[in-house]
């Protein structure tokens, strides 16, 4: 990330009245928020025709969402008429050097944040995002590691999570708000999904360049698809210029 505040991209379907829940938007207050209003265009329809017919409506809807962000949030809005949502979101994320892409789901409150951690890959960026977002939130965070059964010394996960908790404490997060949990798991995805039922939002790390496209396309990743919770995907942009 550049600077202390992460850049968070929030896609919103402005062809409907869909909008992220207010508590989720409140969590994003410390970040720079890029609201991308995307409007789907059928293959047989000209982009210009859709823009002429629905442009004002789309702008009004994305600006309405912006108005629900906490006062003072650094916000940018844009509207894109597109035939390919995934490609559009991936492109805009790159253009704005977004640190995080939000996969919205309905959530009444944001009081418990779950951070599944698999290893050191992208970990500094994940913890940086979590630390920044918790600055103005009272939410607690659970650092969770599901070790594949028989494949890992249990102390490896415990050490990983202790180090992550220490880094959040160094970032100013009260240690009383941070819990750690390790499990030996036959199915890490199932255990993450099960743990997510007791949390409101997940923060996960991108593991490959195409993940943003995968999670926002027609075939979401297993955790996102099965958790039923909003997910903040921390992009791995170390290789980007």
pLDDT (0 to 100) of residue 209: 47
pLDDT (0 to 100) of residue 136: 86
pLDDT (0 to 100) of residue 133: 94
Average pLDDT over residues 187-193: 85
Q: Beta partners for 13? A: 38
pLDDT surpasses 80 at 213: no
Measured CA to CA in angstroms, residue 100 lies from 15, 139, 153, 207, 239 at distances of 23, 19, 31, 13, 15
Count Cβ atoms below 10 Å from residue 223 Cβ, excluding itself.
Answer: 19
pLDDT (0 to 100) of residue 216: 41
pLDDT (0 to 100) of residue 215: 44
Model confidence at 56, in pLDDT bands (50, 70, 90)?
A: very high
Q: Beta partners for 78? A: 36
Q: Beta partners for 7? A: 32
Model confidence at 156, in pLDDT bands (50, 70, 90)?
A: confident
Question: Backbone phi, then psi, for 113, in 5-degree steps?
Answer: -110, 130
Mean pLDDT of all residues belonging to the chain: 87
Nearest to 105 by CA among 200, 39, 214: 200
Question: Backbone phi, then psi, for 71, in 5-degree steps?
Answer: -55, 135
Pairing of strands 100-103, 112-116: unpaired
Average pLDDT over residues 87-94: 93
Q: How far is CA 195 from the centre of its chain?
A: 17
């Amino acid at each position: 990330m550049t600077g202390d505040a992460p850049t968070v991209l929030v896609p919103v379907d402005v062809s409907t009245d869909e909008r992220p829940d207010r508590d989720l938007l409140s969590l994003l207050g410390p970040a720079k928020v890029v609201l991308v209003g995307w409007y789907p265009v059928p293959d047989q329809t000209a982009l210009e025709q859709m823009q002429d017919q629905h442009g004002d409506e789309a702008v009004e809807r994305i600006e309405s969402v912006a108005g629900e962000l906490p006062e003072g949030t650094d916000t940018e809005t844009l509207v894109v008429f597109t035939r390919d949502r995934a490609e559009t979101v991936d492109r805009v994320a790159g253009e704005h050097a977004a640190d995080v892409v939000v996969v919205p789901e309905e959530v009444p409150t944001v009081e418990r944040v779950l951070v599944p951690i698999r290893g050191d890959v992208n970990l500094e960026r994940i913890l940086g995002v979590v630390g920044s977002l918790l600055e103005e939130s009272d939410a607690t965070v659970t650092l969770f590691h599901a070790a594949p059964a028989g494949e890992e010394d249990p102390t490896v996960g415990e050490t990983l999570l202790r180090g992550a908790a220490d880094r959040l404490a160094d970032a100013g997060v009260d240690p009383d708000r941070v819990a750690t949990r390790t499990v030996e798991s036959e199915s890490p995805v199932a255990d993450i999904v099960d743990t997510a039922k007791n949390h409101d939002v997940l923060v996960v790390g991108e593991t490959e360049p195409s993940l943003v496209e995968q999670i926002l396309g027609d075939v979401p990743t297993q955790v996102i698809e099965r958790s039923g919770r909003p997910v903040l995907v921390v992009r791995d942009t170390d290789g980007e210029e």
